[in-house]
Amino acid sequence: MKFKSVEQIVSWRLCMGCGACAYVCPENNIRLVDVPELGIRPYSDPAKCKQCGECIKVCPGVELSHKPFDNRVIPELLSSWGPILEIWEGYAADTEIRFEGSSGGAATALALFCLEEKNFGGVLHTGTKPEAPLQNVPVLSRCREELLARTGSRYSPAAPCEKLGRLQESDSSCVFIGKPCDVAALWKLRAVKPMLDDKVGLTISIFCGGTPSTEGTYNLLDMLGVKPEEAEEIRYRGRGWPGATMVKLKGNKQIRQMSYEESWGTVLSNHTQFRCRLCPDSTGEFADISCGDPWYREIEPGELGRSLLLVRTELGRRILHAAMNAGYVKLEKGSPEILAASQKALLKRRRNLFGRLLSMRTMFIPTPRFSGFSLGTNWKSLSLFDKLRSFLGTFYRIFMRGRMIPLKPFEKQGVRRLVHKSGVSPMATECGGK
């Protein structure tokens, strides 16, 4: 299907909410809203749209093709994990960053190195909205304190590409940190806006098993007996490894918490976006460096955080080695096997994807176009039973959940009528704007 508008992409559930379309629209006509059941979604005024197609061109939700690979990549990892030059395991040398970070604080430590030692102008990443602590906003951090305040994974919608304009205003190069889809969107954007090349000095991707919608956070709060308006701060993990999910209440500052395993495993993972289940790139293949968890072994109680780092480009390699030499990160070389052992769910999704897409195509449902991800090769590695299961399981779920038909376009349905069923959010919340 040839998409003509972002609303069409949203209605076929292929939007991941990265915000690239809002940034690129030359008419400034695309706004983002957080629809609690879905995620961050764009909508535009059709009367103002000049049909230039820029928003479709940069959308990683509908098309993603791999860049040519560096010929030094680790060959046995290429088909399942994309280009990887080196694998490292370790942590931020700054003990506070390591403790506050999601895994070992490596993403923050590398960004801090760029700020302090490489004269970078800032780090564009994700923080919380001060007046609405359940919401995420793109932020430009310029010092250690700001970076530290924005450590930790936010398991709720975030659209860092929306604010790429902040990089354009910067006098020097900046770091961009985001999920794989955010980094892929930035990669596509650089092709249509080459001036970004001068401003993006390093891209860091965090691994991602899927973004839960805001409804997931509401359900978490519900289980903790907290009303959304009572929450002053929510930390999904970090402050230990993986750390607990913690909600600080306003006023009395009481803290309610549940284990990371319970919050992700029983609540948040049930709210991941539909398009995330069709993701071919969970580990940031378009980034210079990607960071995740080295979960190939049991974590001892009280163990301090550790990160698994994948160097994906020559630029990433140079910066990682320089940060290591300057003492910002403490790392040791990892062997290729630890990746699959650490990220079993992400590997399973990649292997099933070909069957899922095939199933959708037989139902005449528009699917994203991917190339360079070896999806056929990955699918072939499944047993006959698993192949059938991925094909028929997708068929069954799509049929049972009525996903053969598109969502109603926003302009007809009215964004303001997308009400959260618990009544917590009276309307879809407007995101940061331009």
Ligand X SMILES: Cc1cc2nc3c(=O)[nH]c(=O)nc-3n(C[C@H](O)[C@H](O)[C@H](O)COP(=O)(O)OP(=O)(O)OC[C@H]3O[C@@H](n4cnc5c(N)ncnc54)[C@H](O)[C@@H]3O)c2cc1C
User: Which residues form the interface with ligand X (CB under 6 A)?
Assistant: 101-108, 125-126, 150-155, 158, 160, 177-179, 182, 206-209, 211, 238, 291-293, 307, 343, 346
- Residue whose CB is less far from ligand X, 291 or 365: 291
Residue 5 or 214 having the CB closest to ligand X: 214
In sequence order, the β-bridge partners of residue 311 are 86, 289
Least CB distance to ligand X at residue 271 (A): 11
Taking the complex as a whole, the smallest distance from the CB of residue 68 to ligand X amounts, in Å, to 26
Render 317-360 in DSSP notation, one character per residue: HHHHHHHHHTTSEEEEE--THHHHHH-HHHHHHHHHHHHHHHHH
Question: Shortest Cβ distance from residue 367 to ligand X (Å)?
Answer: 22
Nearer to ligand X, 10 or 18 (CB): 18
Q: Which DSSP letter does residue 170 get?
A: -
Burial 309-321 (b: 16+ CB within 10 A, else e): bbbbbeebbebbe
Q: Pick the closer one to ligand X by CB: 183 or 226.
A: 183
Return the number of the residue (246 or 365) whose C-beta is nearest ligand X. 246
CB of 344 to ligand X, least distance (A): 10
Residue 18: partners with Cβ closer than 8 Å, 6 or more residues away: 60, 61, 159, 160, 161, 178, 179, 181, 182, 185
Nearest-angstrom CA–CA distance, 62 and 9: 7
Going by their DSSP bridges, the two strands 429-430 and 369-371 should be labelled as: unpaired
Specify the pairing of strand 200-206 against strand 132-141: unpaired
Amino acid at 225: G
Nearer to ligand X, 105 or 368 (CB): 105
- Report how far residue 165's alpha carbon sits from residue 185's, in angstroms, rounded to the nearest whole number: 14
Please choose, from the candidates 125, 77, 129, 92, the residue with its C-alpha nearest in 3D space to the C-alpha of residue 311.
77
The minimum distance between CB 224 and ligand X, in angstroms, equals 19
Q: Which is nearer to ligand X, 101 or 228 (CB)?
A: 101
The DSSP line for 13-79 is: T------HHHHH-TT--EEEEEETTTEEEEEE-GGG-----HHHHT-TTTEEEPPPPPTTS-GGGHH
Please, which residue, 42 or 366, has the CB nearer to ligand X? 42
In the complex, minimum distance from the CB of residue 346 to ligand X, in angstroms, rounded to a whole number: 6
Q: Which is nearer to ligand X, 6 or 175 (CB)?
A: 175
Q: To the nearest whole angstrom, how small is the minimum distance from the Cβ of residue 323 to ligand X?
A: 12
Q: By three-state DSSP, how is residue 245 classified?
A: strand
Burial of 183 (0-12, 13-18, 19+ CB in 10 A): buried
Do residues 307 and 85 lie in contact, with contact meaning Cβ atoms separated by under 8 Å?
Answer: no
Q: Which residue lies nearer to ligand X by CB, 112 or 365?
A: 112
Minimum distance from residue 182 beta carbon to ligand X (Å): 6
Instruction: For residue 166, give the DSSP letter.
Output: H
CB of 60 vs ligand X, minimal distance in Å: 14
Shortest Å, Cβ 57 to ligand X: 22
